[in-house]
Amino acid sequence: MDWDDLRIFLAVARSESLSGAGRRLKIDPATVGRRIARLEEAVAARLFVKSPQGYGLTEAGGRLIAHAERAEAALEGATEALDGPEGLTGLIRLGAPDGCANYLLPQVLAGICDANPGLEVQVVALPRVFNLSRREADMAIGVSRPEAGRLTVQKLTDYRLHLAASRDYLERHPITSRADLGGHRFVGYIPDMIFDKELDYLAEIGAPAAALTSNSVSVQLNFLRAGAGVGVVHDFALPAAPDLVRVIPDEISLTRAFWLIRHADDGRVARLNRFADQLVRRARAEMARLEAGPV
């Protein structure tokens, strides 16, 4: 069985299409199809079934994918052993919720890349859970700890959130206690697009339903900067918006955690282990710096 055919098999399984696999591997989709046909002939089994939703694994394909992923991890581990531990190189794709991606990761990843000039990092900022089994990313940051799947999980860092509003808004609409909140316009998430219960901040603090909503943390932050109302903001984002101030922080305060999530098979890949170690160490230091800043 040819490793290159297995590599193409994994790409089709993860993208669920020949064209998606072709883009990932930078080869023509027709070539992808021919290589899959060759692999199916070699193993004497149908590996995919095509449907309107794309290419899904057959039972035989499902049995093969675990072995293919172990072979992939072993090859990456061998490459790492030959490269040595002197520095991180190559491409790593990291999935993250947009608040983390916008206000925490840029400084953290800049430091990692400064220390590892041969490293390339892609940040995929999406307000949803990433599918590591389909290799949407090499690792992902989540706002809650997953309870299922072949994953390894470690806490990246804790973080705090408070109500915040612009100075201009608060001059026009003072808030001195929780009892004042009822008469204010709130900014928050679109209710049916809250992808994790940990993000349902307004319900937790008993605030009125939001009138201005977005699935993006950055859009919510800009609503608040425009003086549109009151909303829950990450403390680590406040240094990027000095016109915002915390509202009744002694009465309302939330604590959450970011979790670093990886596919279980990647624990044998030294390069990803070293990147994860640097990411955790630098993220905790940067979070402490940001949260200690003037708010």
Q: Where are the beta strands (DSSP E) in the chain?
A: 48-51, 54-57, 90-96, 119-125, 139-142, 151-166, 186-188, 212-213, 230-234, 244-246, 254-263
Q: Which regions of the chain are under pLDDT 50? A: 82, 295
Q: What is the pLDDT of residues 79-89, one digit of tens each?
A: 555 455 557 88
* pLDDT at site 129: 60
Percent of the chain with pLDDT over 70: 92
* pLDDT at site 136: 74
- What are phi and psi for residue 96, nearest 5 degrees? -155, 150
Identify the residue whose tokens are 């984002």: 237
Least Cα distance to 90 among 280, 274, 281, 277 occurs for 274
* pLDDT at site 269: 81
pTM flag (> 0.85): no
* pLDDT at site 37: 92
**Dist. CA 22–CA 15, nearest whole Å:** 9
* Domains of the chain as residue ranges with CATH: 3-83 (1.10.10.10), 90-155+257-292 (3.40.190.10), 158-255 (3.40.190.10)
* pLDDT at site 295: 45
